[in-house]
Amino acid sequence: MTSHYQIPAPPLSEFVERLWMFDCNSPAHARERLLPMGTVELVINLRQDSPFRFVVAGPYSEWTILETHDTRSVIGVHFKPGGAFPFLTVPAGELHNRDVSLDQLWGAARACELRERILAAGNVQAKFAVLERGLLRAARSFDRHRAVRFALEQFRRPTRSVANVADRLGLSQRTFIERFRDEVGLTPKLYCRVRRFQDVVKRIHGLREVDWTDVALSCGYFDQAHFINDFRAFSGMTPGNYLRVHTDHQNHVPLAD
């Protein structure tokens, strides 16, 4: 198994967390539980024998099942929260909890051309370069709504409420929610819940023993019961079960055959 990652150059770096490539001839397990991240992922298959060629996934607020035999050799883009908006032809909210073929968004000719150019590129760096150029050509605009930009910054703090942020922007809650959902794909409240869940996953990943009360309070939960209920709702398992079965990839949990 080999994995490669690269941070793109500006202006893509403001919207893209990383480019990645993964190759594995023999997956360790057939299925994985994929945890929700609230972000969009572009995945392009590099094998000819797979049922999909390219897909835009998410943003998800629920866990899904990933068939690993479909993703043995893939390259993709992990967008920052709200980062996929410049490259979409529909509001991001229309992709909530959905996977859509890239040709439905970009058209078959552009999507197929990008994949063929990536396949023809010689090495990993060349493939990433082709992918970057494809994103730059597809971008409608790199302007973000000021309210969304401000809100994403504020929501990094677990104590910021939706009402507080809307008030500081001078917008009605309805207008703010619509703007945010169009660019990020989730309502502000749901986005904050998913990101708080992700804060927990990042904090506990790889640990053997955890002070659950400390984790709950540090990540902005009212109490441990609220934390456990939210974790189960987003992952389909308890925090303790996650610790027992997680892998090196914190959002990919193997499922028993």
Q: Give the global pTM.
A: 0.93
* DSSP of 55-81: EEE---SS-EEEEGGGGSEEEEEEEPT
Under 8 Å between Cβ of 20 and 78: yes
Q: Could you tell me the CA-to-CA distances from 43 to 63, 74, 160, 192 in Å, in that order?
A: 18, 7, 33, 25
- Cross-strand bridge partners of residue 66: 32
Tens of pLDDT along the chain (257 residues) come to: 689 999 999 999 999 999 999 987 766 677 899 999 999 999 999 987 666 789 999 899 999 998 877 677 999 999 999 999 999 999 999 999 999 999 999 999 999 999 999 999 989 999 999 999 999 999 998 888 899 999 999 998 766 778 888 888 888 888 999 999 999 999 999 999 999 999 999 999 988 889 999 999 999 898 889 999 999 999 999 999 999 887 788 999 988 75
CATH code of 146-255, in short, is: 1.10.10.60
